A and B are shown apart, each in its own frame.
Chain A
Amino acid sequence: MIIPDSSHAPIPVQNATALTVSIAHRARLLGRETFLQTMEGPGVFRDTSFSEFAELVAVFRSWMQVHSVQGDLLAVAAIRSADTVAVITAGLLESRVVVPINPRLKAPQIAGILERSGATALVADGAVLHALAGGGMLDDAARERPTLLINRQRLQPFQRAAYEPVLGVLDQKHMPEATGATSEAGQRRPEGICLFTSGSTGEPKGVLIAQDDVYARALAEVALFNLTADDVLLSLLPFSFDVGFNQMMTALVTGCRLVIADSWTPKDITQLIELFAVTGVSCVPSIWRDFLGSGARLDREGAHRALRYVTVSGGDLAPDELLRLQDVLGVGLFKTYGQTEGFRLTCLLPHELAARPTSVGRPFGSARVSVVRDDFTLADPMEEGEILLAGLGVMQGYLGDVDTSAKRVPNPFRQSDADPEYAIRTGDFGHLDAEGYLFLRGRRDLMVKINGNRVYPEEVRRLLVGVAGVRDAAVVGVPRTGADAVLTAFLVVGENEELPVIQRRLRQSLPPFMIPAVVLLREAIPMTAGGKQDMGALRLEAEAAVSPHSPSSNTNT
């Protein structure tokens, strides 16, 4: 395999027009060299060259021109693949609002997002159609709107029989010739993508991000990680999650290789890094925690020498875990913080980790972070308040009639037209230190009072995972009327660990008001399809455990 010479690499692109030119340019210059490598099964990989990718994009653009108009919402529910990357790219180039849906969601959730988003067209694969059919929702979801079947090489024989006749018109052979023309009809919207947040409470909300912000955010990450066309990024996270989406965009704008894999096991990740000489991995804490638990270690002198960086995104690890992870990976860790509404906006750089392991770093790109008091005045350094995000990548608003005004507010620190117009209220509490490093305490709406102390479940969780014998933890504060909230901890402990011993250690290492009143042992913490702790499910369990009808506290199940 020939690795593209970086001297051939086009400069990073900043908008849809430049991306169109860049894809054509790369297809011509780098033609048969590999752009995407997709794991399609154990040991089975499919390479997609630059020119094949350009062809896929052209085919999907022509489908979109026939079946939708500019500004339409286009739902993409499919496993990550060359097709999926090409469809999303085509959607951006055709000025559709792309709604990536996690294909691992259950049928009612997928159907719910389709319904709520008002998507006029659907791009889906066999797995998603199978899930919808199993839930009796295929007709409503797929037949109600033009549906394109992608990832067809991965269709199982029974899926082929079931879906191809239904969606026969979608056969790519029968599609119109690509014209490259842009539809004149329809209303142009500034939004490029719509990401649905799972949300710890309530219904998922569609977060609209302007197309300009999608590109700007990708370029900021290119600068942060110093990406060039010679990089090889490992894609493990869904495109419906801002971290996964943004990583894919950085590959698209730099033309670096993207290795797409669907296994999160430490062994598979280690092998993939070796096999493809991966230089960068973006991941969530739960995957890294598994990695630490497995005893895996990278060989930085040999098999894994290409690796330059990894990220810990979408959550945090305990200081001890971060240092151990840095040790077993032997590579720089970038810890990022953000929200879907504001993308990733701060980052703790590898060399900053040792001095401030509990910080989430400083803003990068043109992002601005402030900590404000209740009256929106600027808090002093070290003074706690709500975190406001402004600038780069901030959302346009929520989709539909969801009220945006409580989340997106006029930027209180705007002095000139050059300053961002809006700021995002994160709902996270924390402080900035004198050097401008951000520290998080937790979600304001999850904060509970215990013996007069403000306690953030997230803060307790970070302390718990630092306790010897505790492998993973989740914490829920269950409010009670007329009494203090009950802190409930779900713990995953090491083999041969016993609850009384663990509880003794908790009493030794946590302040009294942070010691969970109820401790439930679990084999694993339930996760959402996006890789975050499933707080909805945990909250229900916690509420059941502390209800007056519950047999006892300190239940050990």
Chain B
Amino acid sequence: MTETEQQIADYLASQFGVDMSNVAVDTPLISSGLIDSFGMVELLLQIETMSGAKVDPGDVTLENLDSIERIVGLVEQLKAG
């Protein structure tokens, strides 16, 4: 895992109490039931903190949030502005 991926994995483990030991970067997080959709609000705040940018409501989709890989993609997209 890259540093950003690890950062997100650590965040998910501490915030949602998910056992991340077996979770790969492409493991579905929400559609597999590992984290719940309520968690998405907190996750968004974390993404905004990490990227320093505001997430557009149109970007808040399962598509952008369902795995560590996808979350990192969103963070980088936001960083790039």
Contact = CB atoms under 8 A, between A and B. Distances in A.
Interface in B12-36: 17-19, 22-23, 27-28, 30-34, 36
A267 B58 contact: yes
B78 interface: no
A268 B58 CA distance: 9
Nearest to B31: A41
B33 A134 contact: no
A420 interface: no
B36 A529 contact: yes
Given A40-B31, A154-B31, A262 B62 contact: yes
Contact of B57 (A126, A156, A295): A295
B27 A294 contact: no
Which bucket holds chain B's interface residue count?
A: 20 to 34
A42 B60 contact: no
B13 to A, nearest CB: 10
Nearest to B57: A294
Contacts of A43: 63
Interface in A117-156: 125-128, 130, 133-134, 154, 156
Contacts of B70: 42
A262 B31 contact: yes
A401 to B, nearest CB: 31
B34 A130 contact: yes
Given A42-B62, A104-B36, A263-B62, A134 B18 contact: yes
Contacts of B38: 104, 527, 529, 531
Contacts of B63: 42-43
B30 A127 contact: no
B61 interface: yes
Which of the listed residues B41, B61, B62 has the most CB atoms from chain A within 10 Å of its own CB?
B62
Contact of B33 (A106, A125, A133, A293): A125
Interface string B51-81: 0000001111111001000100000000000
A127 B32 contact: yes
Contacts of A294: 57-58, 60
B30 A262 contact: yes
A104 B33 contact: yes
A557 to B, nearest CB: 14
Contact of B62 (A154, A156, A265): A265
Contacts of A134: 17-19
A interface, by DSSP: helix, strand, loop or mixed? mixed
A524 B33 CA distance: 22
B57 A42 contact: no
B50 interface: no
B31 A265 contact: no
Nearest to B70: A42
A33 B48 CA distance: 43
A39 B63 CA distance: 12
A296 B37 CA distance: 19
A129 to B, nearest CB: 10
A156 B37 contact: no
Given A134-B19, A295-B57, A154 B32 contact: yes
A338 interface: no
Given A134-B17, A158-B22, A41 B28 contact: yes
A251 B11 CA distance: 39
Interface in A2-60: 39-44
Nearest to A155: B32
A352 B59 CA distance: 35
Contacts of A527: 38
Contacts of B40: 264-265
A41 B59 CA distance: 16
Contacts of B62: 39, 41-42, 262-263, 265, 268
Contacts of B45: 523-524
B10 interface: no
Given A41-B66, A127-B34, A293 B57 contact: yes
Given A130-B34, A134-B17, A267 B60 contact: yes
A393 interface: no
Contacts of B22: 156, 158-159
Contacts of A125: 33
Contacts of B37: 262-265
B3 to A, nearest CB: 23
8 contacts: A130-B19, A134-B19, A154-B33, A156-B23, A156-B28, A265-B60, A268-B61, A523-B41
Given A41-B28, A156-B27, 20 more contacts: A41-B62, A41-B66, A42-B61, A42-B70, A103-B33, A104-B36, A128-B33, A134-B18, A154-B31, A154-B32, A158-B23, A263-B62, A264-B37, A264-B40, A265-B60, A267-B58, A293-B57, A294-B60, A296-B57, A524-B41
The 8 lowest CB-CB distance pairs between A and B, nearest first, are A127-B33, A158-B22, A294-B57, A42-B63, A104-B36, A263-B62, A134-B19, A41-B31
